């Protein structure tokens, strides 16, 4: 029986365990994983600081690419297809921090969750398609509310992966973009991708006024919302991308920002005499993945990856990230073979 290794998360502890690949059923797919990406949501699940949506389940190990080594006859897939994974629909699945992922679900669910890609695409680039799709989707959702953003002034609060990707997409649409970050590490990292006059420290925000402010930080804080409120013009948009929890409100109002983000709503409020349009977006779908595949070669994906590790280094690294002992700007990628 074929053995495979996977990361097991229990009460904040991550360890690698060895499993047997099960006897597959007709609705089962095995994906042999090439690479996985570490997402802030994975880190938050290790530190138990993330509300897990009941409809989607835990995300731990959801950014990946690989090859199908078994596809049951009811799955609609074939062996040797190259694929990525969309975690916004939840089949019965094992973690993507593993050298194999096993999915078992009806064909219509698998079609949403397993996204094939063309062999011509570089696997080093396709590993970022899931987070790129989420940010692509978020910007498209925002544009659905604001109208075209060409020449619009956009501030992005947080120059992490999400902020950087949103900035790249907004620039492609012709917007004038400025990224703001609290600490220097990510400012220096972002300056390798953006122009010097596009990346700033948090404290500089009051020098500007924006049509749109997108908040992308790990957990959206009152301080970041206050910044967004102060630098957005009247009747401008504050778009919520970063983490929110079920009871989070817009400053001292009763407006629930988690509901706006997770349900992708627009809520217009008058806060202290200024009209603000609050919007949000959450997740992505197969069409977003396909749109990103089409432009992947134009994106500076390799500049977004800061570190690559082997799987045996993964448990310590993610637990250290969860405890705040280490932090890396950009993406950390896990490899399963040397």
Ligand X SMILES: NC(=O)c1ccc[n+]([C@@H]2O[C@H](COP(=O)([O-])OP(=O)(O)OC[C@H]3O[C@@H](n4cnc5c(N)ncnc54)[C@H](OP(=O)(O)O)[C@@H]3O)[C@@H](O)[C@H]2O)c1
The CA distance from 273 to 165, in Å, is: 33
Pick from 154, 217, 301, 304 the residue near ligand X by CB under 6 A. 217
* Residues between 105 and 124 that touch ligand X (CB under 6 A): none
Q: Which tokens sit at 279? A: 């919007």
Pick from 21, 182, 269, 309 the residue near ligand X by CB under 6 A. 182
Q: Residue 44: how many CB atoms within 10 A of its CB?
A: 20
Query: Please, which residue, 66 or 330, has the CB nearer to ligand X?
Result: 330
Segment contacting ligand X by CB under 6 A, of 3-11, 91-99, 148-156, 213-221: 213-221
In order of 52, 78, 291, 300, 333, the CA distances from 117 in angstroms are 28, 13, 12, 19, 19
Nearest approach, Cβ of 293 to ligand X (angstroms)? 18
Pick from 126, 138, 146, 256 the residue near ligand X by CB under 6 A. 138
- Does position 242 interact with ligand X (CB under 6 A)? The reply is yes
Query: Please, which residue, 38 or 68, has the CB nearer to ligand X?
Result: 38
Segment contacting ligand X by CB under 6 A, of 90-98, 155-163, 269-277, 302-310: 155-163
Query: Please, which residue, 82 or 187, has the CB nearer to ligand X?
Result: 187
Q: Which tokens sit at 11? A: 């009460």
Query: Please, which residue, 70 or 202, has the CB nearer to ligand X?
Result: 202
Query: In which residue are the tokens 């709503």 written?
Result: 265
Pick from 97, 241, 293, 336 the residue near ligand X by CB under 6 A. 241
CB 127 within 8 A of CB 273: no
- Does position 162 interact with ligand X (CB under 6 A)? The reply is yes
Nearest approach, Cβ of 161 to ligand X (angstroms)? 4
- Does position 181 interact with ligand X (CB under 6 A)? The reply is yes
- Does position 216 interact with ligand X (CB under 6 A)? The reply is yes
Segment contacting ligand X by CB under 6 A, of 112-120, 170-178, 218-226, 247-255: 218-226
- Output the residue with the shortest Cβ distance to ligand X: 160
- Does position 281 interact with ligand X (CB under 6 A)? The reply is yes
Segment contacting ligand X by CB under 6 A, of 63-71, 89-97, 176-184, 299-307: 176-184
Contact characters 15-54, ligand X, x per CB under 6 A: ------------------------xxx-------------
Q: Based on C-alpha coordinates, what's the Rg of the chain?
A: 20
- Does position 128 interact with ligand X (CB under 6 A)? The reply is no
Nearest approach, Cβ of 121 to ligand X (angstroms)? 22
Which spans of this chain sit near ligand X (rule: CB under 6 A)? 39-41, 134, 138, 158-163, 181-183, 185-186, 216-218, 221, 224, 241-243, 261, 281-283, 327
């Amino acid at each position: 029986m074929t053995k495979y290794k996977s990361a097991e998360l229990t009460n904040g502890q991550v360890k690698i365990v060895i499993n047997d690949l099960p006897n597959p059923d007709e609705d089962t797919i095995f994906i042999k994983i090439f690479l996985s990406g570490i997402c802030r949501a994975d880190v938050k699940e290790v530190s138990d600081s993330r509300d897990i949506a009941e409809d989607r389940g835990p995300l731990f190990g959801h950014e990946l690419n690989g090859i199908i080594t078994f596809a049951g006859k009811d799955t609609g897939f074939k062996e040797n297809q190259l694929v990525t994974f969309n975690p916004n629909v939840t089949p019965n699945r094992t973690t993507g921090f593993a050298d194999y992922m096993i999915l078992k679900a009806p064909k219509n669910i698998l079609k949403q969750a397993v996204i094939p890609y063309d062999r011509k695409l570089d696997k080093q680039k396709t590993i970022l398609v899931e987070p790129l799709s989420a940010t692509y989707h978020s910007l498209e959702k925002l544009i659905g509310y604001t109208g075209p953003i060409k020449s619009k002034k956009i501030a992005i609060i947080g120059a992490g992966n999400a902020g950087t990707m949103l900035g790249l997409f907004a620039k492609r649409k012709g917007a004038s973009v400025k990224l703001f970050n609290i600490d220097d590490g990510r400012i220096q990292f972002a300056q390798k991708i953006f122009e010097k006059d596009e990346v700033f420290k948090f404290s500089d925000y009051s020098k500007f006024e924006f049509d749109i402010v997108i908040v992308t930080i790990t957990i959206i804080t009152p301080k970041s919302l206050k910044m967004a409120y102060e630098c957005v013009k009247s009747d401008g948009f504050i778009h919520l991308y970063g983490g929110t929890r079920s009871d989070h409100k817009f400053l001292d109002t009763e407006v629930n920002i988690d509901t706006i983000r997770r349900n992708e709503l627009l809520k217009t409020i008058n806060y202290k005499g200024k009209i603000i349009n609050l919007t949000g977006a959450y997740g992505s779908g197969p069409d977003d993945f396909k749109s990103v595949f089409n432009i992947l070669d134009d994106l500076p994906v390799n500049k977004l990856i800061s570190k690559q590790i082997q799987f045996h280094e993964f448990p310590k690294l993610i637990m250290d990230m969860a405890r705040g002992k280490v932090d890396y700007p950009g993406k950390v990628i896990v490899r399963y073979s040397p």
